[in-house]
C-alpha cells in the first residue's frame, strides 16, 4: 500500500496563534501580492496558522492559489482546507490545482476539496480523474469519501481504481466509507480473480456495517483462506449486527484451515447471545485435532452459556 504524501506542512498542526484582528489578517492577505517571494511566503505561513479566522481573506487566498512559487500555493491551499465548507467559493481554483505540476500542491488541493465536502460537489468529476494520479490519487479517494452521496458520479472511477494495486486500498476504503452507496461495487469486487482485491473488498465491507453482512456471508465460502479469515474477523467486529451469519460461522468450524476455525469461534463469541444456536457445533469443535481450536471452543461454550 502506498503511503500518502507526507507534506512539509506538518508543522502547521501546531496550535494556532492567538486570534488577530481582521486588519492584521487583511495586511497579510495584501502581502500575498508582494513581488518578493519571501514576503509572500512569510504571509502565507502566518495565514496558514490562522485556520477558521480567514473568511475575510478568502478572495485573496483564492487568487494566491495561482502564485508562481509552489511553496506559497501549498500553504494557501492548506489555509483553504482549514476553512472547510466555508471555502466553497474556492472550488474552481482548487480543481485547477489538481492539475498543478507540483505533487504536494495537487495532494493538498485534493485534501482541501475533501474538507469542503458535499457543498463542493462540482469538484467530483475532477477528483474522479485525479484517482489516476500516482501521488494525488489516494488524497482524491479520501476526498470523494467525504463528498458522501454527491460522490455517486465517481463510483465507476473508484471501481476502476480497485484494479490498480497502488490505489485499491484507498479506493476500497472510500467505497466503504460511502456506505450503501459504495456497497454494490464492493460486492462485485468479491468475484474478482485477484485475491488481494477480494481481501480489500472484505475489509471495506466492514466499514459499510450491517448492510454488508449478506455480501460478507458469501465471502465466507471463498476458496482463499486469507479471504475467509479476514471475512470472519470483520463479522466478529460487527458483533450482534452479524447475527445472520451465525449458521455460516458455525459451518466454518469444520474449515480445513486452523486459523479460520479459531477466528470463527471468536466471531461467534463476539456476536453474543444470538450465537447460541451454534453451541452444538462448538461442542463438536471440542474434538478438533488442533489444541488451540479445542481450547477456544471450550471458552466459547462457557461464555455463550452464561445467563445474561
- Whether residue 15 has pLDDT greater than 60: no
Q: Is residue 172 part of a domain?
A: no
For residue 23, the model assigns a pLDDT of 86
What are the CA-CA distances from residue 276 to residues 157, 159, 162, 270 (Å)?
43, 38, 38, 11
- Whether residue 40 has pLDDT greater than 90: yes
Cell digits for 146? Answer: 467525504
Q: Is residue 298 part of a domain?
A: no
The residue assigned the cell 466555508 is 86
Q: Is residue 280 part of a domain?
A: no
The residue assigned the cell 481573506 is 57
Q: What is the mean pLDDT of residues 269-284?
A: 98
Total domains in the fold of the chain? 1
**Which pLDDT band holds residue 179 (cuts at 50, 70, 90)?**
very high
Q: Is residue 67 part of a domain?
A: yes
Q: Is residue 32 part of a domain?
A: yes
**Which pLDDT tens digit goes with each residue over 146-171?**
999 999 999 999 999 999 999 999 99
Q: In the chain, what percentage of residues exceed pLDDT 70?
A: 93
Query: How far apart are the C-alpha atoms of 86 and 146, rounded to whole Å?
Result: 15
| The model's pTM | 0.92
SS3 labels along 146-189: HCHHHHHHHHHHHHHHCCCCCCHHHHHHHHHHCHHHCHHHHHHH
The residue assigned the cell 475575510 is 56
Cell digits for 257? Answer: 484451515
- Whether residue 2 has pLDDT greater than 70: no
Q: Is residue 186 part of a domain?
A: no
**Which pLDDT band holds residue 12 (cuts at 50, 70, 90)?**
low
Domain that residue 70 falls in? 1-150
Closest by Cα among 305, 297, 298, 296 to 277: 305
What is the C-alpha end-to-end distance of the chain, expressed in Å?
Answer: 43
Q: Is residue 307 part of a domain?
A: no
Q: Which domain CATH number covers 117?
A: 1.25.10.10
- Whether residue 215 has pLDDT greater than 90: yes
Closest by Cα among 144, 105, 137 to 121: 144
- Whether residue 252 has pLDDT greater than 90: yes
Q: Is residue 74 part of a domain?
A: yes
Amino acid at each position: 500500500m502506498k503511503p500518502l504524501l507526507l507534506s512539509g506542512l506538518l508543522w502547521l498542526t501546531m496550535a494556532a496563534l492567538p486570534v488577530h484582528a481582521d486588519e492584521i489578517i487583511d495586511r497579510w492577505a495584501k502581502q500575498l501580492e508582494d513581488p518578493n517571494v519571501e514576503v509572500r511566503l512569510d504571509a502565507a505561513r502566518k495565514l496558514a496558522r490562522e485556520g477558521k479566522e480567514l473568511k475575510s481573506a478568502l478572495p485573496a487566498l483564492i487568487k494566491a492559489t495561482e502564485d508562481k512559487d509552489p511553496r506559497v500555493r501549498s500553504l494557501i491551499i492548506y489555509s483553504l482546507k482549514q476553512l472547510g465548507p466555508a471555502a466553497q467559493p474556492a472550488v474552481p481554483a482548487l480543481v485547477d490545482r489538481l492539475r498543478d505540476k507540483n505533487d504536494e500542491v495537487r495532494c493538498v488541493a485534493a485534501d482541501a476539496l475533501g474538507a469542503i465536502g458535499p457543498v463542493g460537489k462540482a469538484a467530483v468529476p475532477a477528483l474522479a480523474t485525479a484517482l489516476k494520479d500516482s501521488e494525488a490519487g489516494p488524497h482524491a479517494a479520501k476526498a470523494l469519501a467525504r463528498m458522501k452521496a454527491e460522490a455517486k458520479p465517481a463510483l465507476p472511477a473508484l471501481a476502476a481504481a480497485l484494479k490498480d494495486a497502488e490505489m485499491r486500498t484507498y479506493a476500497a476504503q472510500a467505497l466503504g466509507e460511502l456506505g450503501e452507496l459504495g456497497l454494490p461495487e464492493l460486492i462485485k469486487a468479491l468475484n474478482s480473480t485477484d485475491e488481494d482485491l477480494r481481501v480489500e473488498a472484505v475489509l471495506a465491507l466492514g466499514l459499510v456495517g450491517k448492510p454488508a453482512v449478506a455480501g460478507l456471508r458469501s465471502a465466507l465460502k471463498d476458496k482463499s483462506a486469507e479471504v475467509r479469515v479476514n471475512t470472519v474477523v470483520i463479522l466478529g467486529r460487527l458483533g450482534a449486527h452479524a447475527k445472520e451469519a451465525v449458521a455460516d460461522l458455525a459451518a466454518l468450524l469444520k474449515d480445513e484451515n486452523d486459523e479460520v476455525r479459531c477466528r470463527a469461534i471468536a466471531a461467534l463469541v463476539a456476536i453474543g447471545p444470538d450465537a447460541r444456536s451454534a453451541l452444538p457445533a462448538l461442542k463438536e469443535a471440542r474434538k478438533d485435532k488442533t489444541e488451540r481450536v479445542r481450547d477456544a471452543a471450550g471458552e466459547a461454550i462457557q461464555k455463550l452459556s452464561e445467563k445474561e
